[in-house]
Structures are given as structure tokens and as C-alpha cells.
A and B are shown apart, each in its own frame.
Chain A
Amino acid sequence: MDELIGEFLAETFESLDVIDVELVKFESDPTNRATLDNIFRLLHTIKGTCGFLELTRLEAIAHAGETLLGKFRDGDLVADSNAVTVVLKSLDQIKAILEGLEQTGSEPQGDDTALIAELEALAEGKAVEVEAAAPAPEPEPEPEPEHEPAPTAEAGDSAFDADLGRELRPGEVSLADLEAAFMNTPGPEDEAEADVDTAEADADVEAEDDAEEIAAEAPAAAPAAAEAPAAAANADAPAATGGARTQSTIRVNVDVLENLMTTVSELVLARNQMHQIVRGAEDSALKTPLQRLSSVTAELQDGVMKTRMQPVGDAWKKLPRIVRDASQDLGKKINLIQEGEDTELDRQVLELIKDPLTHMIRNSCDHGLETPDVRVANGKPELGTIRLSAYHEGGAIIIKIADDGRGLDPEKIRAKILEKGLATPDELAGMSEQQIQRFVFAAGFSTAAQVTNLSGRGVGMDVVRTNIEQIGGQIDLHSEVNKGATFTIKIPLTLAIVSALIVKVGEERFAAPQLSVRELVRVGPGSSIEVETLNGARMIRLRDRLLPVIALNEVLNQTLGGTEEMSGYVIVLEAAGRKVGLVVDDVLDTEEIVVKPLSGPLRNVSVFSGATILGDGSVIMILDPNGLASETAMEAEEVKESAAAAAESDEALSARQRLLLVRAGGEEPKAVPVSLITRLEDFDAKTIEKVDERYVVQYRGRLLPLAHAGGYDTFQDSGRQPVLVFAEDGRSAGVAVDEILDVVEETLDLEMGSERPGVIGSAVIKGKATEVLDIAWHMERAWSGAPQRAEKSERNAVLLVEADAFSRRMLAPLLAAAGYDVTVAGGLHEARDAAQMGAEYDVVVGDPGALNRLGEEGFFLNIPRLGVGENAYSHSSEGFVAVMDRADRGGLIAALDKAARTRAAA
């Protein structure tokens, strides 16, 4: 594309954005002279440049628009919203043409005569019907006398080409003036003088422009000419600031800044490396120079960061226009208040929040605010308010979008949640208002009953959330019915350099972005807080609340939660609206790190957001709190449920026990120690099935055998069936009860044994004799003969290589019972044959020695290998998923399941 046109496009798009804002301002205050002057000047410049570049379509529209604005400016016409709409329409047309120009390098074909006719008709003082909007009775103070339309305007145009030289000149002239002024006598007064010069030069042009305009409209010449000097005088102040602005800014290609930023990042790293070296050496001569290097680097970094900063207002420029259009379309009265538009943030971040912001403002206009009559009926002022504010808070920027509309309707949201199947009614009942409100961020959620052209396409807030989270931000909302809704977005200042916590797990280090870190908690021996485990799910008690925690090494190595005691630190991260604790071995340091993106093959690893190079030159991975949170979302949610049920009162005293009181077969309560219960579940009674004289329920892809605590299998026929789930030796069983009554804290002191099966004995609980259930007995009853594993939908193929016939006979049925498709190879020959025949297996199981041999011969190299031996610990586990002891059946199956899973994932 022509370089000149490129420049023109960049400049014009900027001007148009300004005009948009100014016009809306102007509409609300048609008497504001400065605003109108500003609009007029910008449009005039566009027109002039178009003429110069021979962009005839643009020129014609700009000219007609300018003529109309000229009438406003001269006071011949009073601007009303109709007129402004037409002007805005013409701006949109200009933008459309410019976009065409940007793509093809030439003006797209098209016909603008209708638009121009509208503009001209308005300029002639005729009321024009705009988009079916009721034409307001137009005050026509003076019927335009002898207006001269097109021909004279054309004449004016040709004059403008000559004018163009002048149009371009002010910058140059004033620069020369400035330079001269500086050369002659440097001093503050001179600078002021230079400014005045500039101002005068600008004002001159201004006056001449005016004169030009007047020439084009001969009849109006006399009064306008008289006004011209005044206009010039008026223009003084704004022109002076305008002049100063052109002098103090330059246009720089974004790539240059990006490069500079990268280079500075490298410099920062190099400095950090130096620091590390010098720190090690006592009395180094480098210390002082390094100190200076350090401070200079920091300043440079700051400076470069500043060049990337833009006021957040830049992202808001389009919003007044959007709100205005929306208010017209929807017949609502909306006032948009903007606060803190000077708040600066990284341009990359700014770019990324533009769309979400626009979307949210539209949402507020469309769904948030009510129509004037509804507002009045609710005792609110007719004029609805949307308040958009931005401010800094601890290394992040907070942007708030608040409206005083109807707020989110909790009933509608509930209904929608159920309709979309995002939660069950029971889950909903247990949720707080806040939790329910957050469902608007769930994918495919839209509460608008009616799809409007503004919003309500059902892809709204979840896209907004995703966009915000992509840049490491967070979004939350607060809503009160009939008071309004407030959306709060928290975003990092910049994406390039972040402050991070360096943590250690095993021998490896990882960086956790400080922005997501809420707090650090020391756990394990020596700390009052311990990691507790509930059916493999870990949690800690934090200020009387249970916080789900995950062990970083388990997440990273994808191992399952064990029950061993954990010590170290819990980093409390907040991401995707939920808090999650991350157990690490140690917390080393905080460091400013430069985020480097991951290469293609690694981008799918959801738990990392990037990598960075530390001061010592080593590469470490940056943890992605969102990825981690979603990774454990299921786990965390589940834990929350059962924990909430179990932890009603959380003042555990060592000697006392928490007991769950239930009713089961009879009115008197029965007790179960909470510590034995893995989970509390609540099944739909209809889902309980009878298989082979046993009661079972499908639970997490398996069949959970059930027994009733009443001793007889009298399950509820309809409604909900509460079930206590117990796990032992990797097996689970459910014990159904009639009702869960309470959780009490008592010293469990069995005062009387019992001969009755299913009851251990009786104790005094809450002053009453209460039977304590014998869980082991009930579990056994549920288990006896009950199926342990559900049929797998896809049976994984396993090759069992085992020379020993006895072991073969023992292992093969075990594996088959665990849901695997077992092929038995009695020796290496058979295994080789199977491989050469092209048989495929998901896992190879067998004697470690035999498997090693096969591996050396090049067989089954890509298949997980699970060693099973007499004495597992004597074998090296290299090249194996695990080497298990033959006697450890549970462990063997678990390892096999894991191997099959890694295979399935690979």
C-alpha cells in the first residue's frame, strides 16, 4: 500500500474515534463551542487530505458532513439527535470506506448519494426522517436564507486543495518557530512565547479556514466574517494545547517497542545473573558498578514499560457511542460515567480487554438497565447510569462496570442452570447467592429471554471470562435485585514481566504468578495446620473453612493422592473464581520474571502458562493457576460438598469425636463416627437397582454396593436416598440411612456392648442412649458377592508374559476380573510371536527380567511395561511404569489402571 495512504489511514482512524466521542458530547450539550470546533477541524482535515489523495467518495461525504457542521457552528441550525445520528451515520460510512481502502489500497465502489442528500437536506434546515425515529419537532430559528448547495461547495473544494498546503504547514511552521525561539534565547519565557507563536499560527489557519468556509457560503459572509476573529481568538486556548501535543509525541512502530522490550528483558536477566555471581563472591570489585548497572537497568525497564503503557481510556473511546446507539435502539435513557480513564496499562493488555469491555457495556445497556417507565415505577430516576471506572490496586488494574439497573434475577438464573443442566436442584440448594450468580460466566449461559441484536447470543459472559483469564485476569460480579449489578475485572498491569513466587518440589523449581497467590501457609510438623485427607482428596483447615489442596508433585507426575503426611507450604491460589491450595516442598524467593511463551508441542500442557529464565540462567516452568484450578475442579468441588457436610462445627478437640447422627430403621437416632465416613451422598431413589439380589447404585462409573443401616434392605421408593459412603482397602460400599439428623461432638464412650449384628454398642450422646453402628459389618454385608468393578466400556488389551504356570494362573484371572482383555504368553517366544504378528496391547505385564529382554530385542518399546515379581524391590524400575510385588493385588491393579490411563492419554 502507498505509504502516504497508510499514514492517512492511521491518522484518520484516530480522528474518527475522537469525533465519535466528541459528537456524543456535543449532542448532550449543543452549545459547547469548543467541542464543535474540534469536530469541525477533524472532519475538515479528513476532507482536505482526501482531496489531496483523490479519494472522491470520502471527500464527498466528508464535505457534506462538514457543511452541516458548519451550519451548527455558525448558529444557523441547532443540532438535535436526528442530525447527530445522520452525522454519525456518515462517519460510519467513512469508516467503512476506509476499511475497504485499508484492504485493497483503493476506495471501494459504492453509492453515497442518499446519505449525502440526507446531510444536505439537513444542512438546508429540513427535518429528515432518520431510521424511523420520531422526528423531533425541529426548532428552526431562521429558515436558511438563500442557501447555496453543491456547485459553490465544489468551488470551495478546489480552493481547499490550495488550502492543503497551509493545512500541513502549521506543524512545520511552529516547529521552526520553536526551534528559532530555543536557538535565540533559551528560557521559560521563550518557551511560552514559542507556544504562543504556535497558537497564533494555528489560530491563523483556523481563521483562514473560517474565511474559506465563508467564501463558500457567500450570503452568510457578513455575519460570519465578523465572527471569524472571535473564532480565532476562541481557538487560542485549545490550539495552544493542540500545538504542544504535536510537539511532544512521535509515532513509533509497535514492533520497535516490542523489540526494545525483549532486549530490556534480556538485560534484566543478564543483570540478575551478575547479581548471583557477585553475591557468591566476597568483596568483589564488581559490587559498585553492578549496583549502578542495576539501578540503571531498573530505570530503563521502567521507561520501556512506560512506552508500552496507554491510558485505559483508549479502550473506552468507542463506548459512549455504543451507549448512545444502544439507548436509541432500546428506548432507554442511559448516562455513561467514566472514571479513571487516565489509568495506564500495557497496550497488549489493553487490546485484549477492548472486546470484553464493549460486550459488558452492551450487556448492561441491554439487560441491566430498565426502560424509563419501569424505572419510574420502581422509584428510580428515569435516567439509568452505567459507571465505568478504573484504578490501580497492588500491581493490578481494577476495572468496574456498575449499573443501577434491575440486577441479575436469581430465579431466572436458577431456572437457567437447571434447564442447561449445569447443576442439580440439590446442588443449587446448597449454593450461596454469589455462587449462583457466578453461573452467568458458565459456557453457553445467557439469561436474556429474547435475543436482541445487541447481546444475548448465549456466548456472552463465558467468552468475556475466557478472554480475561487468558491474560491472567479475573472477573467477578456482585448483584442486588433492583439495585444493579457490578462486574469487577482485575487484570495485570503487563504481561511481559510478572512478579512470581519461586517454589520447589523435589529437585525442581517452578514459578507461581504472584497475582494469583492469596497467601502462604506452612503445613506439617511444627505448624498448627495439617494436610488432612478424605478419600484421597486433601484439604487444610484455614480459618474455620476447609480449603481443598493438591500436591504439586502429584499434579505434575499425575500420580494419585496417597495418604502420607505432607509437610512444606500451601500456596493458596485463586483462579477461575475458586481457591485452591498447592502443596509444595519449599518457597524460595520472589522474582520478577520475564514470561516466555511455550513452543507449539508444549502449549497443550495446561498446567503451565510459559517458561522463564532465572537469574542463575536455569529455565523453569511457570505454573498456570487457571489450568491447575480446572485440573482439580472436580476434585475441589467434591471435597467442598462432603467437607461442608462433615464440618458443620469445626472445633475438633482431641478427646472428642465428631459423630454423625442418623435415623435408620426406627425413630431413635443411631451414631456413626464421622472419621470413618468417606463421603455423604444423596442418590435419587430410582437409580438404586437390584442386581443378583444385591442393591447397587451407579456411582462414578462403578457400581456401589448398598446395604441399609436398618438391617433390612428397605430403601426409599421415591425421592432421595441418603447414603454414607465408606471405603476400605480400595473398595467402597454405601450404607443407606433413612435420614441424616445432625453432627455432634461427643466423647465416644461405649457403655454397653451389643450382641446384635450391625451394632457395636450404645453410648450416651446428647444425653440420650444411642446405638453406634458397626460400619464394618454393614460394609461386609454390602460387599458379599457384590460386583466390585463395572464393566469397562473399552477393555484394554494386556499381554501377560509369565513363564511360571502358577503365577499365570493366579494373575490372568485377576487382570481379567479387573476389566482387562488378557492375552497370556507362557514365554518369550510366544511374546515375540505375538509382537511379530502385529498384535497390539495397551500394557505389557510380567516378569521384569523377561520384559527387559523383550525391550532389548526391540519389542513393545512404546507400550507401558508393568513388572510383576516375587521381590519387587530387588528389581530396578527403570523402563517400567512400576514394578509391583505379586502379592500386592490391590497395588498391582492400581498400577495397571494407571499404566492403561497413561497409554490411553499418549
Chain B
Amino acid sequence: MSVQSSFEYVTVHIGGQLFGVEVDEIREVFSPQDITKVPRAPGEIAGLLNLRGRIVTAVDARSRLNLPARGADEPVMALGLEQGSELFGVLVDEVGEVMRLKADTLEASPAHLDPHWRALLKGVHRLEKNLLAVLDIRALINWDNKLAA
């Protein structure tokens, strides 16, 4: 990890858990609308949507994290990010505030954590009351297609 003394995170709630995503990774936060389902797509892909004339591939963070599926009336927000020329939207439940946290409160993901989660986390910050899991959002939108397809 770098020698940065602090990190800036956007906090998001996914399936009741608090996560942080590094601010620099996120292009924008938007409310996803009219998601077109893609038949035969990997289950983690919620579908495609139109964001100001560009097509965004929506990836459901709950599904990626093996959390129970989102109900129809539960709130949903999306973190937009770009990879190459492709736009992705990561669907989360709620987007909270931007938080600056000291690097020395960051710890590696606990060893007994589910390996699947470990692969998707960059570490865990100890907050006063709870834990903030740092989501590796790049890993979240990239996975082995052979396993997923």
C-alpha cells in the first residue's frame, strides 16, 4: 500500500454492511433508471442502462458479494466508473457521505473472512462504532467470465 497518510472514501451501504469506495475511482453517483435486463448474462449483471447517451453496464454489488437479492421496493443507487472505454454502474443500496480516514486505521482483511469477500476488499478501517470495509471496486466489476458466464 502507498505511503499516503489518509484516504478519502465514499461510504455506501450494501445489504446492511457499510463499505467505503475510494473517491478517485468514482466518476459519478446516479440513480439508475430503466435498467434493461440482458438475458443469459451472468447473474451479477443487473442489465444495461442509458446514462446521457452512453450505455452503462450495471453490476449488482449485492449479487457480487453473495448478499440476498434486493427487493423491488428497496432503494438503489449507482456508482458510475469507467474502465477503458466502458462505463460501469455498481448498484448499491445507499450512498452516504465522503469520509477521510487515516491510513493507520486501515487493516488487511481478516484472514477468516470468506475468500470471495477477501478478493473484493482492499482492507478494513476501524471506525469508532463499526467497521468500514474498503471495497475494491475494480475487482468488483472484473471477474472471471468463465466462472460467471
Contact = CB atoms under 8 A, between A and B. Distances in A.
A270 B48 contact: no
Interface stretch (B35-43, B95-103, B104-112, B130-138): B35-43
A599 B40 CA distance: 14
B57 A619 contact: no
A607 B40 contact: yes
Interface string A404-448: 000000000000000000000000000000000000000000000
A608 B38 contact: yes
B86 A619 contact: no
B55 A601 contact: no
Contacts of B45: 601-602
B2 to A, nearest CB: 27
Given A613-B53, A618-B50, A862-B66, A905 B149 contact: yes
Contact of A861 (B44, B47, B66, B83): B66
Interface stretch (B19-27, B119-127, B140-148): B140-148
For chain B, give the interface size range.
20 to 34
Nearest to A606: B40
Contacts of A557: 39
Interface in A595-614: 596, 598-605, 607-608, 611, 613
B50 A558 contact: no
> Which of B37, B53, B55, B57 counts the most A-chain CB atoms under 10 A from its CB?
B53
Contact of B36 (A598, A600, A601, A619): A619
A879 to B, nearest CB: 8
B9 interface: no
A269 B149 contact: no
B86 A556 contact: no
B66 A621 contact: no
A266 interface: yes
Nearest to B39: A556
B36 A620 contact: yes
B41 A601 contact: yes
B90 interface: no
Contacts of B75: none
A621 B148 contact: no
A630 to B, nearest CB: 14
Given A619-B55, A620-B36, A906-B148, A602 B41 contact: yes
A600 B38 contact: no
A633 B49 CA distance: 32
B86 A599 contact: yes
A508 interface: yes
Contacts of B39: 508, 556-557, 605, 607, 621
Given A906-B43, A906-B148, A861 B55 contact: no
Contacts of A621: 36, 38-39, 48
A906 to B, nearest CB: 7
Interface in B38-79: 38-45, 47-50, 53, 55, 57, 59, 66, 68-69
Given A558-B40, A596-B55, A613 B50 contact: yes
A230 B61 CA distance: 79
Contacts of A905: 149
A443 B38 CA distance: 30
A617 interface: yes
Contact of B57 (A266, A269, A601, A617): A601
Contacts of B50: 613, 617-619
Contacts of B128: none
Interface in A556-608: 556-558, 596, 598-605, 607-608
Among B38, B83, B142, the most chain A Cβ lie within 10 Å of the Cβ of: B38
Nearest to B88: A599
Contacts of A858: 68
B74 to A, nearest CB: 14
B43 to A, nearest CB: 7
Contacts of A508: 36-37, 39
A266 B149 contact: no
B53 A266 contact: yes
A556 B40 contact: yes
A618 B37 CA distance: 11
B149 A604 contact: yes
Contacts, number: 77
Contacts of B59: 601
B38 A270 contact: no
Interface string B26-37: 000000001011
A284 to B, nearest CB: 23
Contacts of A879: 69
Contact of A600 (B43, B53, B86): B86
Contacts of B53: 266, 269-270, 613
A660 B31 CA distance: 63
Contacts of A605: 38-41, 149
A265 to B, nearest CB: 9
Nearest to A505: B39
Interface string A827-861: 00000000000000000000000000001001001
A269 B45 CA distance: 25
A618 B36 contact: yes
A861 B148 contact: no
Contacts of A862: 66
Nearest to A598: B57
B148 A601 contact: yes
A84 to B, nearest CB: 46
A860 to B, nearest CB: 11
Nearest to A605: B40
A770 to B, nearest CB: 49
A229 B91 CA distance: 78
Contact of B42 (A601, A608, A861): A601
Contacts of B55: 596, 611, 613, 619
Interface in A244-284: 266, 269-270
A250 B68 CA distance: 59
Contacts of B57: 598-599, 601-602
A514 B69 CA distance: 38
Contacts of B83: 600
A604 B42 CA distance: 9
A603 B42 CA distance: 11
Given A596-B55, A608-B38, A619 B66 contact: no
Given A601-B143, A605-B41, A619 B149 contact: no
Contacts of B88: 599
Given A613-B50, A617-B50, A906-B148, A602 B38 contact: yes
B51 to A, nearest CB: 10
B73 to A, nearest CB: 14
B34 to A, nearest CB: 6
Nearest to B149: A604
22 contacts: A269-B53, A508-B37, A556-B39, A556-B40, A558-B40, A596-B55, A601-B45, A602-B41, A602-B45, A603-B145, A605-B38, A617-B50, A618-B36, A619-B34, A619-B36, A619-B48, A620-B36, A621-B36, A621-B48, A855-B68, A858-B68, A905-B149
Interface of A: 266, 269-270, 508, 556-558, 596, 598-605, 607-608, 611, 613, 617-621, 855, 858, 861-862, 879, 905-906
Given A508-B37, A601-B44, A619-B48, 10 more contacts: A556-B40, A599-B88, A600-B142, A601-B141, A602-B41, A602-B57, A605-B38, A611-B48, A613-B50, A861-B68
Interface of B: 34, 36-45, 47-50, 53, 55, 57, 59, 66, 68-69, 83, 86-88, 141-143, 145, 148-149
Closest 5 CB pairs of A and B: A556-B39, A599-B57, A599-B86, A619-B36, A619-B48
